[in-house]
Structure 1
Amino acid sequence: MKVLKFGGTSVASAKNIALVKDIVSQSDNLKNIVVVSAFGGITDLLLQAAHLASEQNEKYKSVLKDIEERHLNTIKQLIPVHGQSRILSKVKSDLNILETLLEGSYLIGEITTKLSDKIVSYGELLSSYIIFEFFKQEQMDVTYMDSRELIKTNDLNEKAVVNFEVTDALCKTFFESVQKSIVVAPGFISSSEMGNSTTLGRGGSDYTAAIFAAAMNADILEIWTDVSGMYTANPKLVKQAKALPHISYEEAMELSHFGAKVLYPPTIQPVLSKGISILIKNTFKPDDKGTLITQNKNGKGKTVRGISHVENIALLSLEGPGMVGIPGISKRFFEVLSQAGISVVLITQASSEHSICVGISAEDTDEAVNTVNAAFEYEIDRNRIKPVIAEGNLAIIALVGDNMKSHQGLSGKMFSTLGRNNVNIRAIAQGASERNVSAVIKKNDVKKALNALHEEFFEENIKQLNLFVMGVGNVGSKFLKQVQQQKKYLKENLKLNIRIIGISNSRTMVFDEDGIALKNWEGLLEKGEKADKNSFFDTVQKLNYRNSIFVDNTASDEVASTYDAYLGNSISVVTCNKIACSSNYENYQGLKNMAREYNAPFLFETNVGAGLPIIDTLKHLIASGDKVLKIQAVLSGSLNFVFNNFNDKIAFHDVVKQAQEEGYTEPDPKIDLSGIDVMRKILILARESGNRLEIDDIENKSFLPKESLETKSNEDFFASLKKYENDFQDLYTQANEADCKLKYVAQYEDGRASVGLQQIPKNHDFYNLQGSDNIVLFYTERYPNQPMIIKGAGAGAEVTASGIFADIIRIGNF
């Protein structure tokens, strides 16, 4: 014998019911019990109608009308016209009784649990009857049985307790005597021994099927639903979730208890002792393997089998000095909640006995607070115990697996993963079986937590990085192109999956939660919403993705001022913008401290030397115990390009213009030529060496005329360069006559720093520096005479973009 249960989505429409018929027809068992739920959404409509009626709101009639139309239309679609009359008459008769029940609730202005059970039972009664008649019309060997005649319970409505001794006897008598090969029965409903309708709780159709399966020692219990089994996580929240081919009863119970809605938690109990397997299948993809639930006989398998969660949780905390060493406090606490019908889903207690914290359904919060405070009124009045504290908007997230107990460090791995992603843990619980580790977190963090944990435990070490990019000019556009080109390589070789979630320029911004298609990012951005740095941050924060990285490709001080907000929310920052790190020392150090405190990397390698590993090398020197004695450097690729190309045959103005057009200078070339850019760079290197310096401490020996420095626009600046061409030619002539080259040099030594144009002789390391190359000489205690030299392309959009890309990869490898 096989028991097949079909859920609400499986029987939500005539089309779906036809699929159910095909599945049942293909069963090769001699006898099949088919348990069906109410049509999808009908139970909610019945509850809504009952609620409206109890409030004497006549809108219940329109809800009832919707219920009627759903059922009558389904009959008309399933049954040929010549066979409809009798079925429509029966269904309308049942709907008339339902109408009478609702009208009674309307007249008295209330609804009892007994009346509620009668009303909601019509969902399954109507669906099962219609499906039975459809099967019969299709020439199937089928009969019908009202489950209320077989499943007997106590009189506790809405969550009735089954009397298995009576129920099993009735089931055996009926199913052993029935001659038909298929029995259709409604799920969810039962009756008390007095004959009153009762229900088995939401999801009770699974339970009905399990009761039948256990009573008849069925070969297998099949649960047909709208997903292909139990998943490693909720596939609606975790796109990478995978169906589990095989799990144990205990794992299934833990996962279903913690929110895996594909299976109603009590379902497993009746079949567990009988060793009856449960197979979860997809009605809409019947060829999918599904999930088989059996005993775990060999003790083998993965450590973590699934990650599940329960939303709408509240924490209830009872604490106070009067609890310490006093027997019976816990008993009273739980007894009070039990008597109020409030279920406790998580328990944690301080070893000092100073506090007890439990997780309950959020909808029970007010009643729980009032009940517990009343029970402990005496202790509260005498300040021995504080009034109970309730905290809402929470959820429970749980790791589940039979073999977790035999592997060390899983809890630590779980908590560190959550911590890296700024998911605060409010409470922790672990069962004695070590099959489950649970943590209470903010409800808003559920999606991020599930994805982060799933990535850690199930995705073969593939780490997803979610990028939010501000600035898509020269550098930013090259960066996006590099990401597009390298995406496949990074995933296959470095196990990094990079997604661009948000892009902004100075005019518009665009977001896509599934990742922006980089082939068409320009068109998407053009149609985006109005750009706003605060709105951009708010969206990043609201999306709340794991491994989020803010990428700043601008030179904006306004954008740089937002770094603390990102870091304070555990969002990493990667930037080529030098403003933040060259601002006042307190701000620079504060950002670095925040990065450590919130475990959010703050990387700015491209602040000095574009794509050259200058800052990274310096960090390693300092971390390994070396000490910087002196730094000499040519740090401006743009200035090096200018003076390498400037001579007595080309105007200084023309060379600077060329440098701007080829992307070597900032959009405002005065930033480069004034020395401000180089001052910022040597300041950053001095600070990264462990020294406290401000920008005003750096001596700037500018070669630009005062008038050029005081210009307010690029047009005026370039005009001033033409005006003072003779002065620039004099600089070149003097260097040429001395057989030297002009280089703009930055230097730091003995706590002092300076920048300025220098004549470099032939025997110097800087003399042969070509194009836009940078060079840095680190004189340290380990390299006192022959410095460590880093040399290479130090300007240009491509190399700067590659430096930003390298910082992002560093974060991915953390």
Structure 2
Amino acid sequence: MKVLKFGGTSVGSVKSILSLKRIVENEARRQPIVVVVSALGGITDQLIATSRLAVSGKDEWRTSFEQMVDRHHKMIDTIITDPNDRETLFNTVDALFEQLHSIYFGVFLIRDLSKKTQDAIVSYGERLSSNIVATLVRGSKWMDSRSFIKTYDIAGKNTLDSALTNQLVVEAFKDMPRVTLVPGFISTDRDTGEITNLGRGGSDYTAAIIAAALDAEVLEIWTDVDGFMTADPRVIKSAYTIDQLSYVEAMELCNFGAKVIYPPTIYPVCVKNIPIRVKNTFNPSAPGTIIKDKIANDAKPIKGISSINGTSLITVSGLSMVGVIGVNRRIFTALADNGISVFLVSQASSENSTSIGVRNEDAEEAVEVLNHEFASEIANGAMFPMHLESNLATIAIVGENMKHTPGIAGKLFGTLGRSGISVIACAQGGSETNISFVVDSRSLRKSLNVLHDSFFLSEYKVLNLFVCGVGTVGGKLLEQIRNQYDELKEHSRLKLNVVGIASSKNAIFDRDGIDLNNYREQLHNSEPSTPQSLCENILKMNIFNSVFVDCTASADIAALYPTLLNHNINVVAANKIAASSSYDNYRLLKDTALLRGVKFLFETNVGAGLPIIGTINDLRNSGDRILRIEAVLSGTLNFIFNEIAADVPFSETVRRAKEQGYSEPDPRIDLSGTDVIRKLVILTREAGYRIEQDDVEKHLFVPDEYFKGSVDDFWKNLPKLDADFERKREQLDKEGKRWRFVATMDQGKASVALKAVGKDHPFYSLEGSNNIVLLTTERYKEYPMLIQGYGAGASVTAAGVFANIMSIANI
């Protein structure tokens, strides 16, 4: 035989209750079954709310009561088609409602609501629903669970009398029909006969008790989800159904917030080794989750992540606790005597403090109880008053295979640390099936997501990107991400989730990801944004595995980096301002990233997509020392001096560089050598030397007065230089030489200058807008290392930024 339990949502609507009927009738063809049902969805809450209205003397209890009557009547009218069955059921239901009305009226008159009365009131939900289902499933027999589920009182709480209950269940079900309908949740006191209940979620427990007593083949819990999920799907979009769990794993997940089944449900069937299958009433074809003793071929160390929000942490501390026997006994006895449940314990090895986790609603009472218990010790200073921290969250990672997998705890805390999440307390049992820890409740969503992603419970690894700047580079980057999205998902199991995009005026944010096909339209219609509001929105999202991508040339945006890095947000910058700013600021950014365990990457600051900075870092990390750097670092200037010819004057080459997107929006930045100086400063610093921009010796080729005034003035005056450049060009041509604007670093000394190079020099044949770098190191002294390739252009720069992003994804 089989026991099937249907929750409130499974009997909460006409659609769901008719689905229940089909499921039950299909199962009954194969074997005898016991069906346990909860109250109609939401009715238990309404029964309690109505009683509170009545005890407070509010006439609104009558309206609430009539709403419940009306809901049950409408359900019967809709689903019961036989007139005789309908009339009989109405008589039964109305008799129950008449009793319930009398109880409410009594509460209203005397303004008293005892626990005994409250238990009686909430019992009507299951008594009503089970009679409706018993009539709907023709041929079924209704049995009153109050006659065989027995409890007794411990500290004001109902506790199952297992021995008596098992005996009565066996007797009651001696002659089983094909279908037996039982109201869940409700019971009676073994001594007084008064109505009691098994607690919220107790219908699951009722079904488990019956299944265990009757040695059922399986216990099926029918609910509104496909089974246990790897995490809360409302928080983690990538959460998926777990096929199989052990009893221990299921219990751990339930105890820490997974509300799929009521935790006490597991014990009775576990003892009898009866499997539990969790199924979805709304999707009966889904396989669900099977819970049993042993899971074959189980390789996953982590099965799921569960959490309890609304946690309070109480710390009992004092020097007198060290080595004193019985302190913890007093803590837990005092709390147990007052009916306060503790779900987490963390004790310092020095024994001078013990922290306990309770629910927020129990916190103040628990503090009062413990302060009273240790009043004498607190009075003489041997112990401190209880320290309470509220509005926390407890998270547990669960899996029986953790005990066979080294490094789980290290990975857990390392992952949280890199994400800027502080662990307030932690606990791990010797069985190693559960590691629990407490964080600030504001970090709950981020913690769940980063752990789900880190422990491969997600189908894909997710990187959440904030892209600032949608001009030539930013626009190309977003285009490349869009074009590569499916390929990365399929072959690298990586989702690049663009959760924020900002232009110079507006910004849009979406935690689930922005559609890159129409982001410009969304930006146009969005609210205005400033660098400060942009930063505030990013921090407010508090999103995991996040990367801020700066594709601007803005000093205000670069000024956000310290704050972002301090909040464990990776930074990828095409913007050169930060890395070439004061050495102290550059060092601060590098050190902050190192301290926080995140990345500050700016490969495209020099050479666009060329791996120059990465190569220098690799050489230094392997023990080499950079002695000298010679480089052509401006694709713009190289383009200009490659284009200049007898029929193409200097001013025209500058204009072409601007039109073809090689130069900065203001070409004077390139012509002044500012761009090259920034790049040389960055390379010199990455090579291990301290340098400021003012330390670079400059030999420029455009007079200072051309950099004054407006851009329009610059373009108007520029042709005046053409004749002089043409004379010098002719002379160089006769000598077989070419101009190159060369940046040089020699043992930390840096300079930039326009130089003439001959055919035997590596820079002579440099074409178009290419860059070239010669690295002389202690290892590469006789034959310097040469790096050469495209050094300008939006597409290659965007590709370099993309490569930096991917390097973070691959950590």
TM-score, normalised to structure 1, is: 0.95
Which residue pairs with 1:424 in the alignment? Answer: 422
What's the CA shift string for 1:161-203, capped at 9, x where partnerless?
A: 111222222222221135x321111111111132222111111
Q: Does 1:789 align with 2:791?
A: no
The answer to whether the Cα contact below 8 Å between 1:117 and 1:157 also exists between their aligned partners in 2 is no
Pairwise CA distance, 1:331:
1.2
What's the CA shift string for 1:518-558, capped at 9, x where partnerless?
A: 23333333333323333333333233332111111111111
Q: Helix, strand or coil for the counterpart of 1:325?
A: coil
The code of the aligned residue for 1:379 comes to E
> Which of residues 135, 147, 166 is equivalent to 2:145?
147
What's the CA shift string for 1:571-616, capped at 9, x where partnerless?
A: 1010100001111111111111110111111100000000000000
Which residue pairs with 1:114 in the alignment? Answer: 116
Q: Does 1:79 align with 2:76?
A: no
Q: Does 1:501 align with 2:503?
A: no
Structure 1 range deviating more: 564-573 or 516-525: 516-525
- Cα 1:501/1:181, change in 2 over 3 Å: same
The answer to whether the Cα contact below 8 Å between 1:158 and 1:201 also exists between their aligned partners in 2 is no
Structure 1 range deviating more: 670-679 or 149-158: 149-158
Could you tell me which runs of 5 or more consecutive residues in structure 2 were left unpaired when the two chains were aligned: none
The answer to whether the Cα contact below 8 Å between 2:5 and 2:35 also exists between their aligned partners in 1 is yes
The answer to whether the Cα contact below 8 Å between 1:113 and 1:157 also exists between their aligned partners in 2 is no
The code of the aligned residue for 2:313 comes to L
Which residue pairs with 1:128 in the alignment? Answer: 130
The answer to whether the Cα contact below 8 Å between 1:404 and 1:435 also exists between their aligned partners in 2 is yes
Which residue pairs with 1:248 in the alignment? Answer: 246
Tell me, in whole angstroms, the C-alpha distance in 2 between the residues paired with 1:37 and 1:669. Answer: 75
Q: Helix, strand or coil for the counterpart of 1:425?
A: coil
- Cα 1:30/1:493, change in 2 over 3 Å: closer
The code of the aligned residue for 2:122 comes to V
What aligned pairs does 1:225-624 form with structure 2 within 5 A after superposition?
Answer: 225-296=223-294, 301-459=299-457, 462-624=460-622
Tell me, in whole angstroms, the C-alpha distance in 2 between the residues paired with 1:755 and 1:94. Answer: 94
Tell me, in whole angstroms, the C-alpha distance in 1 between the residues paired with 2:41 and 2:530. Answer: 43
Number of residue equivalences: 808
Pairwise CA distance, 1:328:
1.5
- Cα 1:757/1:301, change in 2 over 3 Å: closer
The answer to whether the Cα contact below 8 Å between 2:54 and 2:61 also exists between their aligned partners in 1 is yes
Pairwise CA distance, 1:499:
1.5
Pairwise CA distance, 1:695:
1.3
> Which of residues 654, 660, 663 is equivalent to 1:662?
660
Tell me, in whole angstroms, the C-alpha distance in 2 between the residues paired with 1:282 and 1:650. Answer: 76
Tell me, in whole angstroms, the C-alpha distance in 2 between the residues paired with 1:106 and 1:682. Answer: 84
The answer to whether the Cα contact below 8 Å between 2:452 and 2:458 also exists between their aligned partners in 1 is no
Tell me, in whole angstroms, the C-alpha distance in 1 between the residues paired with 2:266 and 2:550. Answer: 53
Tell me, in whole angstroms, the C-alpha distance in 1 between the residues paired with 2:573 and 2:782. Answer: 34
Q: Helix, strand or coil for the counterpart of 1:464?
A: strand
Q: Does 1:30 align with 2:31?
A: yes
Tell me, in whole angstroms, the C-alpha distance in 2 between the residues paired with 1:238 and 1:750. Answer: 52
The answer to whether the Cα contact below 8 Å between 1:158 and 1:198 also exists between their aligned partners in 2 is no
Pairwise CA distance, 1:346:
0.9
Tell me, in whole angstroms, the C-alpha distance in 2 between the residues paired with 1:73 and 1:156. Answer: 40
- Cα 1:301/1:811, change in 2 over 3 Å: closer
- Cα 1:445/1:158, change in 2 over 3 Å: farther
> Which of residues 800, 804, 809 is equivalent to 1:803?
800
Tell me, in whole angstroms, the C-alpha distance in 2 between the residues paired with 1:23 and 1:461. Answer: 32
Pairwise CA distance, 1:52:
3.6
The answer to whether the Cα contact below 8 Å between 1:157 and 1:198 also exists between their aligned partners in 2 is no
Pairwise CA distance, 1:272:
1.6
Pairwise CA distance, 1:245:
2.4
Structure 1 range deviating more: 300-309 or 393-402: 300-309
Pairwise CA distance, 1:413:
2.2
Tell me, in whole angstroms, the C-alpha distance in 1 between the residues paired with 2:39 and 2:725. Answer: 88
Q: Does 1:63 align with 2:64?
A: yes
- Cα 1:693/1:90, change in 2 over 3 Å: same
What's the CA shift string for 1:186-234, capped at 9, x where partnerless?
A: 1111111322221111111100101111121222111001122222323
The answer to whether the Cα contact below 8 Å between 1:158 and 1:199 also exists between their aligned partners in 2 is no
The answer to whether the Cα contact below 8 Å between 1:6 and 1:223 also exists between their aligned partners in 2 is yes
- Cα 1:657/1:109, change in 2 over 3 Å: farther
Q: Does 1:181 align with 2:178?
A: yes
The answer to whether the Cα contact below 8 Å between 2:464 and 2:546 also exists between their aligned partners in 1 is yes
The answer to whether the Cα contact below 8 Å between 2:244 and 2:295 also exists between their aligned partners in 1 is no
- Cα 1:672/1:105, change in 2 over 3 Å: farther
Q: Could you say what the CA RMSD is over the residues aligned between the two structures, in angstroms?
A: 2.2
Question: Percentage identity across aligned positions?
Answer: 46
The answer to whether the Cα contact below 8 Å between 1:576 and 1:606 also exists between their aligned partners in 2 is yes
The answer to whether the Cα contact below 8 Å between 2:156 and 2:339 also exists between their aligned partners in 1 is no
Pairwise CA distance, 1:151:
0.8
- Cα 1:119/1:406, change in 2 over 3 Å: same
Tell me, in whole angstroms, the C-alpha distance in 1 between the residues paired with 2:720 and 2:47. Answer: 86
Pairwise CA distance, 1:766:
1.4
The answer to whether the Cα contact below 8 Å between 1:299 and 1:403 also exists between their aligned partners in 2 is no
The code of the aligned residue for 1:791 comes to Q
The code of the aligned residue for 2:46 comes to L
Tell me, in whole angstroms, the C-alpha distance in 2 between the residues paired with 1:11 and 1:690. Answer: 70
The code of the aligned residue for 1:751 comes to G
Pairwise CA distance, 1:300:
5.3
The code of the aligned residue for 1:769 comes to L
Tell me, in whole angstroms, the C-alpha distance in 2 between the residues paired with 1:313 and 1:460. Answer: 26
Pairwise CA distance, 1:461:
8.3
Structure 1 range deviating more: 692-701 or 314-323: 692-701
What's the CA shift string for 1:245-279, capped at 9, x where partnerless?
A: 22222221112112221111000111122222211
Q: Helix, strand or coil for the counterpart of 1:344?
A: coil
Which residue pairs with 1:98 in the alignment? Answer: 100
The answer to whether the Cα contact below 8 Å between 2:155 and 2:339 also exists between their aligned partners in 1 is no
- Cα 1:300/1:643, change in 2 over 3 Å: closer
Q: Helix, strand or coil for the counterpart of 1:130?
A: helix
Tell me, in whole angstroms, the C-alpha distance in 1 between the residues paired with 2:211 and 2:729. Answer: 96
Q: Helix, strand or coil for the counterpart of 2:261?
A: coil
Q: Helix, strand or coil for the counterpart of 2:517?
A: helix
Structure 1 range deviating more: 360-369 or 732-741: 732-741
Which residue pairs with 2:11 in the alignment? Answer: 11
- Cα 1:460/1:145, change in 2 over 3 Å: closer
Q: Does 1:750 align with 2:747?
A: yes
